[in-house]
Amino acid sequence: MKEPFNITGKHIAVFGAGRSGRAAAALALREGAVVSVWDQGGSCAFENLPSGVQIHPEMKISDAEDFFADLIVISPGIDTYSPLVQAFAAKTKMIGETEFASHYYAGGMIGITGTNGKTTTTELVSQILKEAGLGGTPCGNYGAPLSEIVLSPEVPAAVALELSSFQLETIEDLRPRVSIWLNFAPDHMDRYPTLAAYKKAKMRIFENQTAEDTVVMRHGEELGELIPNVITFSTETREADFFSDGITIIQGGRILLDLEAETSLRGLHNAENAMAAMAACIAYGISPSLMPAALHGYSPPPHRCELIRTLDGVEYLNDSKATNLHALQCALRSQNRPVVLIAGGKDKGLDYSPLLPMLGRQTISAVTFGQIARPLAALFNTAVPTTAVSTLSEALHTARSLAPRGSTVLLSPGTSSFDQFNGYEQRGDTFRDLVHQLS
């Protein structure tokens, strides 16, 4: 635990009235601060705030002219690069909700970041920590905000802390005892000015770690010189400290886990997630002998290569969580049946040309939909026959007509959903409902 802020009587301005903002406001009130909450939404956005909080709806740049606070605590969903935030940050120190809460948390942290696989790995770490009697509540970018954990009646001895680049942008002293770096690929280019800026934000997870700490990373990731002890995992080379062929997980020639016999995890991408979680927990001091019991029967969260049903010999998989190119590549790489791919959604400015060789190998056809449907179809058509449609419903029915017995219809959009849905969950739920309506 870092030295807590002494904020008694100080003015703490919380930006964002969502779950993270509400939790940060409650924590600041507990610590004796004067608290205001700011949001671009109207008054209805401020429901369920703690009593005693000043509210500032319809936040705009001009409000920064007369603004004063001792500290700004910003929610991760708010773009720190935006002119609105920059106008306020020019006058007052700003940190993120996770950084703020970490000053009041005395337990251990296993921090998890990466472009893809964070949530599954966070859940796996949580399962192992719970089996070890350490609590292990999942929090941060997934689960509860860390401020909620700090405010809970029984604060866990350790947490599985998922850290997105948005949260890592705004840390100062956050120091995981063990950090996990899963992978890195282009994403969020609608928020970051350059790919280098995105990677720089994610690499801040290592910023405060020392030689007493540990980094668990995918073998071959280019991270430069790191101060902490490094442990590697891989599904491609046995030179890594942990290796998996997708069936077993091996460390130093010893089988630690049989994925097929002891878990519900399938595919090389889930083998990587499991290796990362196990390696991190072993580095934290947990016995490998606890791993099989901790992960027995575990199933990945919805929308991550989720098998919805098999109809007329065709599998229908929901991978709506694939909101970038790397996640789409991982989903395709994990398939062992011919694939009819459904992809598309919001145009995030990503380059999909690196996907073409894999499309040619793994798919028999593709269907694109949403805002990016036509340009994506034009590109995909150079590798595989592709049809562009408008909606997800049209995409599903088109894919069904193209899928022979023994194949898989895979929804793995490769981009975000905000052109037609309020998030990947709604997109995946809609797809699941549509699949169940097929007859």
User: Please, what CATH class does the domain formed by 306-437 belong to?
Assistant: alpha beta
- pLDDT value of residue 186: 67
Q: Give the pLDDT score at 3.
A: 66
Find the length of the chain.
439
- pLDDT of 1 reads 55
Give φ, ψ of 425 to 5 degrees: -65, -45
Amino acid at 180: I
For residue 64, give the DSSP letter. G
Q: Between vectors from CA 398 to CA 395 and to CA 402, what angle results, nearest 5°?
A: 130
Specify the pLDDT at position 348. 86
Residue 56 has pLDDT above 80, yes or no: yes
Q: Cα–Cα distance between 403 and 211 in angstroms, integer?
A: 53
* Mean pLDDT of all residues belonging to the chain: 93
For 39-52, give the DSSP string: -SS-GGGGTTPPTT
**pLDDT on residue 336:** 73
What separation, in Å, do the N-terminal and C-terminal C-alpha atoms of the chain show? 56
Please determine, for residue 174, whether its predicted confidence score (pLDDT) is greater than 80: yes
Residues 64-120: tens digit of each pLDDT? 999 999 999 999 989 898 999 999 999 999 999 999 999 999 999 999 999 888 989
294 vs 327: CA distance, rounded Å: 26
**Per-residue pLDDT, 2:** 61
- Architecture of the domain whose range is 11-92: 3-Layer(aba) Sandwich (3.40)
Q: What is the pLDDT of residue 262?
A: 87
Task: State how beta strands 314-318 and 306-311 pair.
Answer: antiparallel
Q: Can you give the pLDDT at residue 5? A: 81
Q: Give tens-digit pLDDT for 318-336.
A: 999 999 888 899 889 878 7
CA distance 107 to 246: 33
- CATH 3.40.1190.10 given to domain 106-295: yes
The pLDDT assigned to 204 comes to: 96
In sign, the C-alpha dihedral spanning 384, 389, 391, 394 is: negative
pLDDT tens-place string over residues 137-171:
999 999 999 999 999 999 999 999 999 999 999 99
Question: Could you read off the pLDDT of 267-292 as tens digits, one per residue?
Answer: 788 899 999 999 999 999 999 999 99
pLDDT above 90 covers what percent of the chain? 80
Name the residue with higher pLDDT: 115 or 420.
420
Which residue in this structure is represented by tokens 């779950």?
Answer: 19
Q: In sequence order, what are the residues at sequence separation of 6 or more whose Cβ sits closer than 8 angstroms to the Cβ of residue 360?
A: 383, 384
In this prediction, residue 53 carries a pLDDT of 96
pLDDT digits (tens, 9 = 90+) for 76-85: 989 898 999 9
Burial group, residue 11, by CB count within 10 angstroms (0-12, 13-18, 19+): middle
**What are the residue boundaries of the structural domains of the chain, listed by start?**
11-92, 106-295, 306-437
Same fold: 11-92 with 106-295: no
What are 409's strand-pairing partners?
Answer: 316, 340
181 vs 409: CA distance, rounded Å:
30
pLDDT value at 264 more than 80: no
Distance, CA of 159 to CA of 152 (rounded, Å): 13
